[in-house]
Structure 1
């Protein structure tokens, strides 16, 4: 459920009425997603941990989205989106160091998920500000749960960097084909650039992308390329398949090959089953593999509220670096989540 406010109502309290002549609208929206999670081997001693935290499938957020018709096919748009942890109310999207497209923000960010303004015209949409990298939404289209918020069931977003500061982004749709481009300005956060394309027709949805991300000193470059898609086999069954390549140049020669497969299946009208498996093969530096799989059930009380549960497993082989989500080389977890959209 989204709350819309006309520009006229907002202007009633404005200090500069002359700026309120044109008509526009603002939408207030958000997600509150809280989970209870139990994980085995949560620390090096092999102990279990039960915790209350942010969503597994989606991160909690609230936002403002607006547009104004400027005439002649031109429209002004903006998005302000803030992430928060419902277990404590604290801001999310904190960054401890200036690197890979984000400046340091140890205390979090008021609009850490997105803060952008732009112009939409027949020539395309151009937006400026803190935004998602092209790899993030495009890779989400070939995963049954698009880039899950829980690290234990997320594979691609750990590599491609989800958002960057100081980004200019372009999008244009040509019939079934979508074209995407981005450039991140270096203001102590490192440069970035990306290109992407999508093709959607009937039950088929395909994407491909390439992006580069520099560190803050521009002494190293992380290249990310990916392709994949989804296919609606029936009205109740959708299959997903995707692949991503990471190639580091500069201070590291790390390479990663990540692929995933999954399905969403509507068991009944309110109950959806998710199956997903992904594998990350790292080479040249700390060679090894991370294997991850999860099974989820999502019960839809309404279009706004759902209750979901998932069981996940992670296994590391070789010298694959141990992520913070695991205390040992093997870990399993169970999550119960309650989510409400407004």
Structure 2
């Protein structure tokens, strides 16, 4: 009897150890609020609307790992985006449109993952050195239409290597397959391309209060990505080609830095984006950003950011944007915030609305149709993490 009891105890201990080597975590975030924006409709009417996913996109997900021994682990992450106001799926109605990958990670080396994943422009620049990543300005704080891929650059069918931390230095590379026969890098010349390929590289260094990062991401035929990574039709193409406005290549390079001193954090960022069309037209877009945030108390943080954006070749348009926010943490998981964004658009077009229509972008995530050059958005919101 004692032997049976002992054997049962040993088996139970082994089972407990095996169970302890694996973990699955359910997590999520819900962001909701009310936004006011002027010059939002015909006749210059104001708009007041319910909106979600501004400070951060609403989501829920599962992440897990299994210890395989010797510092090697199997990892996975499935993350769904949704609209809290309607319950609808986000990211083109994909079930796990935000992230969906599986892979291996080795202590002291890094991780190799396969699936739908963020580019390094989003990982390194958007998450660390942009107003949208540093404050509750979030999606309003990112650059017009997220043209430089700082927040929504997710690559499907991707293989990604992310290094371990080597004395503050991390780096990585990824490639996303087009999955089109005879088109390893996407179809080269047609408007009806059936697949989109991409590659991305990144380098980041953090030493105490200082951090600096760089990234490059190139997406071939972004409108053919699943969901589409970039659907803007760019003006200036010849209609006789049968491919007018079709974007052949969307490439972004950027460098960002930040420094913290006491309760203050300052950051600066530059990105350069090339938009190449099949017919040979090229638009370049530059964004220059700087900002700071200050923690007045452990719960109360204020932030202010400025961004100058410029498009060349087709419009020579330029935008000045100011973002201001105040965030108050009710707990470690729940905060409320007040956010304001003001943008002034100028260029060859007679007014801001025509200019924005010409290159397919909008101010403060809205496209004014009243011929206004300026736009103001103010939002009150709440964010809860679980």
TM-score range, shorter-chain basis? Answer: 0.7 to 0.9
CA RMSD of aligned residues (A): 2.2
- Is the contact between residue 264 and residue 295 of structure 2 (CA under 8 Å) also seen in structure 1? yes
268 and 149 in structure 1: CA distance in 2 versus 1, 3 angstrom threshold: closer
Give the number of the structure whose residues are more often strand, by fraction: 1
Q: What stretches of structure 2 of length at least 5 have no aligned partner?
A: 1-17, 180-193, 226-245, 350-354
Q: Which has the larger radius of gyration?
A: 2
Is 1:127 the counterpart of 2:113? The answer is yes
1:153-164 aligned at under 5 Å gives the runs: 153-155=141-143, 157-160=146-149, 162-164=153-155
Is 1:38 the counterpart of 2:36? The answer is yes
- Is the contact between residue 59 and residue 149 of structure 1 (CA under 8 Å) also seen in structure 2? no
1:186-225 aligned at under 5 Å gives the runs: 186-187=178-179, 188-215=194-221, 216=224, 220-225=248-253
Q: Distance in 2 between matches of 1:34 and 1:22?
A: 36
1:192-341 aligned at under 5 Å gives the runs: 192-215=198-221, 216=224, 220-234=248-262, 236-251=263-278, 252-318=281-347, 319=349, 320-322=355-357, 323-324=361-362, 325-327=366-368, 328-341=372-385
Q: Which residue of 2 aligns with 1:175?
A: 167
Taking structure 2 as the reference length, what is the TM-score of the superposition? 0.76
Q: Distance in 2 between matches of 1:317 and 1:244?
A: 20
- Is the contact between residue 125 and residue 254 of structure 2 (CA under 8 Å) also seen in structure 1? yes
| Range with bigger deviation, 62-71 or 317-326 | 317-326
| Range with bigger deviation, 255-264 or 154-163 | 154-163
Q: CA deviation at 1:21?
A: 7.8
- Is the contact between residue 55 and residue 139 of structure 2 (CA under 8 Å) also seen in structure 1? no
- Is the contact between residue 22 and residue 68 of structure 1 (CA under 8 Å) also seen in structure 2? no
Q: Which residue of 2 aligns with 1:166?
A: 157
The count of residues paired between Structure 1 and Structure 2 equals: 310
Q: The residue matched to 2:123 in structure 1 has which SS?
A: helix
Residue by residue over 1:273-309, the C-alpha shift from the partner in whole angstroms, topping out at 9 and shown as x without a partner, is: 0111112100011221122111100000111000001
- Is the contact between residue 119 and residue 125 of structure 1 (CA under 8 Å) also seen in structure 2? yes
56 and 21 in structure 1: CA distance in 2 versus 1, 3 angstrom threshold: closer
336 and 326 in structure 1: CA distance in 2 versus 1, 3 angstrom threshold: same
Q: Distance in 2 between matches of 1:244 and 1:273?
A: 25
| Runs of 4+ with >6 A deviation | none
Give the number of the structure whose residues are more often helix, by fraction: 2
Residue by residue over 1:37-80, the C-alpha shift from the partner in whole angstroms, topping out at 9 and shown as x without a partner, is: 01111123210111111132101100100000001221000000
